Structure 1
Amino acid sequence: MHNNDPHVPDPAQDGGVADNGVNADLDALTAKLTALESELAGARETVLRERAEIENQRRRLQRDLDNARRFANEKLLGELLPVYDGIVLGLANESADAKTLREGLDLTLKQLEKVIQGNGLSVIDPLHQPFNPEHHQAISSVTSNEHVPGTVVAVVQKGFVLNDRLLRPALVAVVGDH
């Protein structure tokens, strides 16, 4: 039987044109799928490389941080070695008199003060200054007609500030209220 309707395609006359269209669509979809799979594989590889790089950076940073902690005092200790050497030399000089030892100690103390000031440490020596509870610790109260109440009249132990942060308060005697 023959199809006489001009609008309905006759499968016998078509001869596989419909199959060719489906095959072309299938080939196009297969090619697109292959391209997308390749793109996905490339993206996965990029992500894996970036993860590995981030992990390597994290390890390097951790190693650098560990080294910074281990050697944080290296500069300071290197600067303290001449002070140490001065003390050792002074103690080794058994024939020195008191005046020579005192001069050596004075020079060593000046070296030490230079090192600590160069590293942000400053001395609190509040003699004859008003009492400051943020930097001073009163350990005794004395009476005095020469000084106003609240004045530091004796420093038992000097205090220290490290880069604007109190490291140790000065231990002081303060004039009390009359």
Structure 2
Amino acid sequence: MEDTKPNAPNAAPDQDASSAAAAQSGGESSLEELEALTAQLAEAERSVAEMRDTLLRERAEIENQRRRLQREVEQARRFANERVLSDLLPVCDSLEQGLAVQTEDVAPLREGMQLTLKSLLKVVEQNGLKMVDPLHQPFDPEQHQAMNMVETDQHAPDTVVAVLQKGYMLNDRLLRPALVAVAKAPGA
């Protein structure tokens, strides 16, 4: 079907001209919007790159700290006994000197052993070791291990009457229980 309106061909060129003008002015604003969006995209990409770089640096720093801490823990574990062992060296020296003495008299050897034991006990006490010697005290199953029961009327029942082996506490924690003999009433 043909368009028979006389104004129709003239209307189309006017409409094309106005749409072309609108397209041109819209094209300029579209170009400006595109440039603005491109600038925003570039800024966002730069920001993401900075964040990625920061993240990688922080991860590397955390990994370095973890390794450093692991090394320090390993060193602490390896040399934890250094102070105790250096304190024990004079005790070893005393024992070696005592063994080097050639004498028939036992008294000086005994005296040297007593001094060495005193030195050893001083070192272990300075490092948190405390002796548990429960003689004539009530039996405590938390700190003592009963090896046998002894019938006696000289001590109250459940009292330690003999210490077979002393116990030790390390910084208020039981290291080794004392091996003891405990009194019981005769005929019980």
Could you state the TM-score of these two structures normalised by the residue count of structure 1?
Answer: 0.92
Gaps of 5+ in 1: none
Alignment of 1:157-172 (within 5 A): 157-172=165-180
Residue aligning to 2:3: none
Alignment of 1:47-62 (within 5 A): 47-62=55-70
Equivalent pair of 2:152/2:185 in contact (CA under 8 Å): no
In structure 2, what is the Cα distance between the partners aligned to 1:85 and 1:57?
A: 42
| Alpha-carbon distance, 1:14 to partner | 5.0
| Superposed CA RMSD | 1.8
Residue aligning to 1:123: 131
Aligned pair partner of 2:161 in 128, 153, 156:
153
Aligned pair partner of 1:107 in 103, 106, 115:
115
Aligned pair partner of 1:73 in 57, 61, 81:
81
| Residue 91 of structure 1 pairs with residue 102 of structure 2 | no
In structure 1, what is the Cα distance between the partners aligned to 2:50 and 2:104?
A: 80
C-alpha deviations, 1:85-114, integer Å up to 9, x for none? 111110111126211111111111111111
In structure 1, what is the Cα distance between the partners aligned to 2:54 and 2:71?
A: 26
- The alpha-carbon distance between structure 1 residues 29 and 95, as it changes in their structure 2 partners (threshold 3 A), is same
Q: Secondary structure at the match of 1:90?
A: helix
Percent sequence identity is: 54
Aligned pair partner of 1:16 in 12, 18, 24:
24
Aligned pair partner of 2:14 in 3, 13, 25:
3
- The alpha-carbon distance between structure 1 residues 137 and 146, as it changes in their structure 2 partners (threshold 3 A), is same
| Alpha-carbon distance, 1:145 to partner | 2.0
| Alpha-carbon distance, 1:163 to partner | 1.1
Give the ranges of 4+ consecutive aligned residues of structure 1 lying more than 3 Å apart after TM superposition.
1-4, 11-15
> Which has the greater radius of gyration?
2
C-alpha deviations, 1:46-87, integer Å up to 9, x for none? 000000000000000110011111111111111111111111
Could you state the TM-score of these two structures normalised by the residue count of structure 2?
Answer: 0.87
